[in-house]
Structure 1
Amino acid sequence: MSLRISILFTALLAFLFVSCSPEHSKIVVAEYSNATITMEEFEKAYAKNVGSLEAAADDSFENYKNFADLYTNFKLKLEDAKTRGYQNDPMLNQELTDYKKKVGSSYILEKHLVEPNIKDWYEKRKTEIRASHLMIRVDSTGEAAASKYAQSLLDSIKNGARFEDMVLKYSQDQFSKPKEGDIFYFTAGQLPYEFEDACYKTEKGTVHPQVVKTRFGYHIIKVTDKKVRVPKIKASHILISYMNPAGEVDTASALLTMDSVLTELKANKDFSEVAMKYSDDTGTKDKGGDLGFFERRMMVQEFDETAFNLEVGQVSNVVKTNFGLHVIKVTEKEAYPSFEADRENLKNLLKRSRYPELYAELIDSYKKEYNYSINEIVIQQMIGYNDSTVIGGEMNGLNEIGNSAIFSFANHKETVNDFYSKLKSDTEYSGKKFSEDILKKGINKFSEQALLEEKALSLDKTDAQFADLMKDYQNGIFIFKLQEDEVWNKVSIDSVKLYDYYQKNMTKYTWQDRVGYTEIYAKKDSVIQHYYSLLKAGEDFDTLAAKTERTQLKDKNGRYDLQVVGSSEFSKIVNNLQKIGDYTEPIPNPGGFSILRLDIKDHARIKTFEEAKPEVSGGFQEFESKRLENEYIESLKKKYMPIINYDELRKAFKQNVN
């Protein structure tokens, strides 16, 4: 009985311990003043610092401790910034606002327009669709008449008329009409988006319930197939042309040759060898018929349909196209890419197709949200004052209408003064005459950017990721301001301090072995040999060096500054000369010939103060900055009394630890 009680008591204690232990995310890693750093905050900051959650989880306890020290110091600085009232500083807030508008407008387009649409396309492009359509074009009777006519045809189909019969009788797409409206297989991003969207919403074997309008006209759509898409296949083929060597159509000869091809393939002859022997495709014959990778719709339809229905390694039956008779072998199929791998391709597809419409829809939604309006009266006044004026010079009428609003929304009022300042500075408009068309294009361009910036100002209230981005930037400008006030502006440099620092650290500033030399240079061997003979006869070296044919050394009369021995081939050669004034025999080098004279040997030594002054200045500033930084951190620790619970860090990235 006592053992049972003991076990139950132990279990109860364990239960109470687990129940009373804080959740993992709420574990306090550090505390200071009246604030804490929780495990959730620490893990998020650490993972961001090392690049990923996986890398963070694999890291060491020592690295966690070091980061905890640094991160706590960072938080102490932010607490100090708050104490100093940086959050109320007009200049800092203006910098944050400017950054929010600049980054926010790009962020909106990327995250709220591009990203969701390419993700949608990525999922849609896993499927390929085959569809047929009946198309009615807009003619002189107008949009309404075309729409009404198309609707009447759709109603007939809904009431039992056969879709294919209606296409053959009424469709105005002359390309697809003979094929009962078939436009073959496609995937998202290849056809007008209104057409594609309707197809993706329609079940296989059914007609879309509404007439669809595109820039080509009005469409009644039937989806005939939907299946998993293979992005690309790699295939080889053997082509037997209908044309004989004399350039005449000879179908019988083509069929006989194809029989020979099939006989050899059935005898398990290598496909590529048979292709090289028989194929009439000069572009692929020497490569064993290899066509490389290709997508849907890149080949003629008969070839495409057969090839994409083959398995890897499978050889087709004979396929007839306008080019002749083909036998096809699929050698590889490309797997569907990951979203990240396909991201740039999807973005490019979007920019080339649907982006303008999506962008216009986004801007229109903001215009409604912010009650956007254009002042047509002011536009006409601008034109009236500047009937024959060119944009770029002084605008007439600014005294009268300069402060009038040309467009407005929310709390934004764009005056004529502000608008014209932008207009004349933009090369798209500068130099052109005032006109209603030009002014409205400018209004659209500048108002669209202003609307995006307006939306960006409140984006942190609805988008957590953007809010984090803005918080990081705010923290950054606060830290920069603190560093400026407490460190950089307090670094004082004078010659006494610099010399004292040099005396204590002079062994850091040294020269390696160096040489200085002069070169006589000529492009021709005969010339350099002549100069060498003159030197031997007593000619002055400097006089000959002044004749150098090396353009960049003419002003220096062939003289090279001191160089570290080994930094160039010349420095090595000259260093082997014994005495100052000794010179070499003619030396061949790229582009010409040289004779080198040793002018000075400067052996390895400590630099003088003057020689080392630039390095000393940089070293001293770094030293002082670190000293002031440490002093500042120590003052923050005394002020906010941080406590870091290092033992708790052993639980970092271990979600099941209580």
Structure 2
Amino acid sequence: MTNKKKFTNFFALILLCFVTTLVACSSKKKITLAEVGNEKIYLYQFEDQFLKTVGSLDSAKKTTLAQRLDFLNLMIKFKLKTMDARERGMLQSPDIQNDLNEYKKNFITAFVIDKYIVSPNIKSLYDMKKYEVRASHILVNLPMPAPSADDSIRAYEKANQIIERIKNGEDFGKVAAETTEDISGQANGGDLYWFTGGQTVPEFEEVVYKLKKGEVSKTPVRTSFGLHIVKLTDKQPRYEQIRASHILIQDKRDSVGQISDSLGTLQTAQEVLSKIKSGATFEDMAAQFSDDPGSKTRGGDLGFFERRRMVQPFDSAVFSLKVGEITDLVRTQFGWHIIKLTEVKEVEDFELQKEKLKTDFKRAPTWRNVYDKYMEKERKSNGFEIDETGFALFRSKMDSNKTLSNHNLDSLFANEKETIVARFKGGEIKIKDVIDFTNINKDFANNAPNSITITRLFGAASDTPVLLYIADKNNIEKDQEYVDMLTEYENGLLSFKVDQEELWSKIVLKPEDIQNYYETYKEKFSYTDSAGVKYRTLDEVKAEVQNLLQQDKFKEMETTMVENLKTKYPVKINEQVLEKAFSEKK
């Protein structure tokens, strides 16, 4: 990678932090951290953006004033470049306007999804994620995706009979072992172990979190897997992550993979545990005895991890500890473990979790269900209707013995792409729109194109037009949050354009510059072999030298540019405010 690209990627990273930050006003007072000309950088803006680079509040609080100043100066440099570029009219350049127009097409629909689907749901997800639950279930299968009336009746009759048995006092685990159609549940009494919000389907999750400890659902819970009878076994406050160390005494195995000395392994593990109880440090014992090469050199440290990341016996043991406590011997398929809990991270405040919650929500099983329900509601409220003539034409050219992906839609509808297949208040959906959708989205690729699939396909192909209509109807382009985020994207384009056209393009390297750099920093290009220290020739390292020189010259030119801009837009920094950054966040 060239240094030019490295710098471009670096500024792209800074831009990403800016663009993904919701810069709408926070409820707390706007505290001015810095002034750049007649514009201000507020403390909450700095905190939001800085947190995105360091990853957590704990890490942010541990940073020095110098580290914070470095980041603030990046923000100031970015603002200086973009303020000047705007004043010079660079925003109106054709290349930036073209880029903006393309970006808006996707951004406005993404913004609508975030505003009306994601954001309203993440608070409830956060409330669930503050706790973890342990539940058991009994599954009664339903033929999917469309069970017949008889199938449904039989399944519900069976589920209700199971509920009656439990109401009459039979043990849930015993009934689960006898009746569940979840194979794993037959062996463990239906136990699903610990989980938290966003890790299972919404219908199941909603019921579990409403139950009291020990309570069983009064009616069957229907999900995409079938019918469930659910019992809440336990519920407790959740840690976001924990940090632990372990000592692994690994099983000795023979040439065919069979354990060959289980007693010897157990005795070694018992001896190590005894040494720790007698005062030996955990870290020393890990370094001396652990068979886990990845952690033994770090005193057994495994770093931070979440619930369910480790095998269940390990997970169950470590999450039962208090900080500083050590387990007895824990058996897993890897051998014997001695585990120490060293640190815990509490669930952070909602405001600090918002962006992560949005990502988690869109990755969760809940997401597709919530999205589909919202779009179905909006299609209905906006008068969405399938055009019968267009539907019949599309259906007539489909072979239901083939999957949709095995049809060449471009060829099949070469002369009928303008045919309307659906309408809603905001416009029409044509065959060409359906073709464009299938070229990008492969959700229906493996489906047989029967009437059910085609109906769903037309609905899905209308999603973007309907979202654009919602945006227009709600004046999204005047929404302050939308305007702020789009402005930051514009600023990123401007900063990139300034860097490319006024810095990178003006870097000129003379042969003597390359030669002088090589001679001055020759040690950078040395290596040692059996014959002693050797140096790579200039021809061998010329590209590397050019990249290093470009980087140095870019920094020099950028520093000069920034200092000149500071005379045009005076900069003031309030270091006392910077020192107090993150002090009010929890």
Shorter-chain TM-score: which interval?
0.5 to 0.7
Is 1:112 aligned to 2:116, yes or no? yes
Q: Tell me, yes or no, if the aligned pair for 2:24 and 2:480 is still in contact at 8 Å.
A: no
- 1:312-346 alpha-carbon deviations (Å, 9 max, x no partner): 22111222333332211111212323445444433
Q: Output the amino acid matched with 1:234.
A: R
What are the within-5 Å matches in structure 2 for residues 642-653 of structure 1?
A: none
Is 1:196 aligned to 2:208, yes or no? no
Q: What residue is the counterpart of 1:443 in the other structure?
A: 458
Q: What residue is the counterpart of 1:126 in the other structure?
A: 130
- 1:540-575 alpha-carbon deviations (Å, 9 max, x no partner): xxxxxxxxxxxxxxxxxxxxxxx99x98574999xx
Instruction: Identify the match of residue 167 of structure 1 among 170, 176, 179.
Output: 176
Is 1:381 aligned to 2:393, yes or no? yes
Is 1:591 aligned to 2:539, yes or no? yes
Instruction: Identify the match of residue 370 of structure 2 among 348, 355, 358.
Output: 358
| Secondary structure of the structure 2 residue equivalent to 1:105 | helix
1:330–1:49 distance in 2 versus 1, CA, 3 Å: closer
| Secondary structure of the structure 2 residue equivalent to 1:225 | strand
Measured in 2, the distance between the counterparts of 1:472 and 1:324 equals: 55
Q: Tell me, yes or no, if the aligned pair for 1:275 and 1:289 is still in contact at 8 Å.
A: yes
CA positional deviation for 1:114: 1.1
Larger Rg: 1 or 2? 1
Measured in 2, the distance between the counterparts of 1:222 and 1:184 equals: 12
Q: What residue is the counterpart of 2:285 in the other structure?
A: 274
Instruction: Identify the match of residue 392 of structure 1 among 386, 410, 415.
Output: 410
CA positional deviation for 1:221: 0.8
Q: Output the amino acid matched with 2:385.
A: S
Q: What residue is the counterpart of 1:371 in the other structure?
A: 383
What are the within-5 Å matches in structure 2 for residues 9-48 of structure 1?
A: none
Structure having greater relative contact order (Cα 8 Å, sep ≥ 6): 2
CA positional deviation for 1:295: 1.4
Measured in 1, the distance between the counterparts of 2:201 and 2:24 equals: 44
Measured in 2, the distance between the counterparts of 1:101 and 1:244 equals: 59
Q: Output the amino acid matched with 1:310.
A: L
1:239–1:230 distance in 2 versus 1, CA, 3 Å: same
What are the within-5 Å matches in structure 2 for residues 412-427 of structure 1?
A: 412-414=427-429, 419-423=430-434
Instruction: Identify the match of residue 285 of structure 1 among 296, 304, 314.
Output: 296
Give unmatched runs, 5+ long, in structure 1: 1-47, 65-97, 474-562, 574-588, 593-658
Q: What residue is the counterpart of 1:263 in the other structure?
A: 274
Measured in 2, the distance between the counterparts of 1:382 and 1:209 equals: 46
Give unmatched runs, 5+ long, in structure 2: 1-22, 40-101, 400-405, 486-505, 516-536, 541-586
- 1:157-192 alpha-carbon deviations (Å, 9 max, x no partner): 234333233223212223133322221111112222
- 1:69-118 alpha-carbon deviations (Å, 9 max, x no partner): xxxxxxxxxxxxxxxxxxxxxxxxxxxxx999976533321111111222
Measured in 1, the distance between the counterparts of 2:25 and 2:138 equals: 57
CA positional deviation for 1:379: 2.1
1:409–1:159 distance in 2 versus 1, CA, 3 Å: farther
Q: Output the amino acid matched with 2:327.
A: S
| Secondary structure of the structure 2 residue equivalent to 1:114 | helix
Measured in 2, the distance between the counterparts of 1:197 and 1:265 equals: 45
CA positional deviation for 1:369: 1.1
- Seq. identity, %: 30
Q: Tell me, yes or no, if the aligned pair for 2:270 and 2:329 is still in contact at 8 Å.
A: no
* TM-score, with length taken from structure 1: 0.52
Q: Tell me, yes or no, if the aligned pair for 2:250 and 2:291 is still in contact at 8 Å.
A: yes
Measured in 2, the distance between the counterparts of 1:420 and 1:258 equals: 68
CA positional deviation for 1:52: 9.4
Q: Output the amino acid matched with 2:462.
A: S
More moved, 132-141 vs 239-248:
239-248
Q: Output the amino acid matched with 1:379.
A: F
Is 1:237 aligned to 2:246, yes or no? yes
Measured in 2, the distance between the counterparts of 1:572 and 1:270 equals: 54
| Secondary structure of the structure 2 residue equivalent to 1:406 | strand
Q: What residue is the counterpart of 2:577 in the other structure?
A: none
Measured in 1, the distance between the counterparts of 2:115 and 2:415 equals: 42
Q: Output the amino acid matched with 1:254.
A: T
| Secondary structure of the structure 1 residue equivalent to 2:192 | strand
Q: Tell me, yes or no, if the aligned pair for 1:199 and 1:223 is still in contact at 8 Å.
A: yes
CA positional deviation for 1:262: 2.3
Q: Tell me, yes or no, if the aligned pair for 2:426 and 2:469 is still in contact at 8 Å.
A: no
More moved, 357-366 vs 371-380:
371-380
Q: Give the total of aligned pairs.
A: 400
CA positional deviation for 1:361: 0.4
Q: What residue is the counterpart of 1:507 in the other structure?
A: none
- 1:255-311 alpha-carbon deviations (Å, 9 max, x no partner): 322332122112211112112322233443343322222211122222211101112
Q: Tell me, yes or no, if the aligned pair for 2:24 and 2:484 is still in contact at 8 Å.
A: no
Instruction: Identify the match of residue 421 of structure 2 among 393, 406, 412.
Output: 406
| Secondary structure of the structure 2 residue equivalent to 1:169 | helix
Is 1:458 aligned to 2:476, yes or no? no
Q: Output the amino acid matched with 2:174.
A: D
What are the within-5 Å matches in structure 2 for residues 175-574 of structure 1?
A: 175-243=184-252, 248-352=259-363, 353-382=365-394, 384=396, 391-392=409-410, 395=413, 405-410=420-425, 412-414=427-429, 419-423=430-434, 428=439, 440=455, 443-460=458-475, 467-468=479-480, 568=510, 570=512
CA positional deviation for 1:146: 1.6
| Secondary structure of the structure 1 residue equivalent to 2:462 | helix
Q: Tell me, yes or no, if the aligned pair for 2:137 and 2:192 is still in contact at 8 Å.
A: yes
1:422–1:571 distance in 2 versus 1, CA, 3 Å: same
Measured in 2, the distance between the counterparts of 1:355 and 1:51 equals: 27
CA RMSD of aligned residues (A): 4.6
Q: Output the amino acid matched with 1:137.
A: N
Measured in 2, the distance between the counterparts of 1:385 and 1:217 equals: 35
Q: Tell me, yes or no, if the aligned pair for 2:327 and 2:339 is still in contact at 8 Å.
A: yes
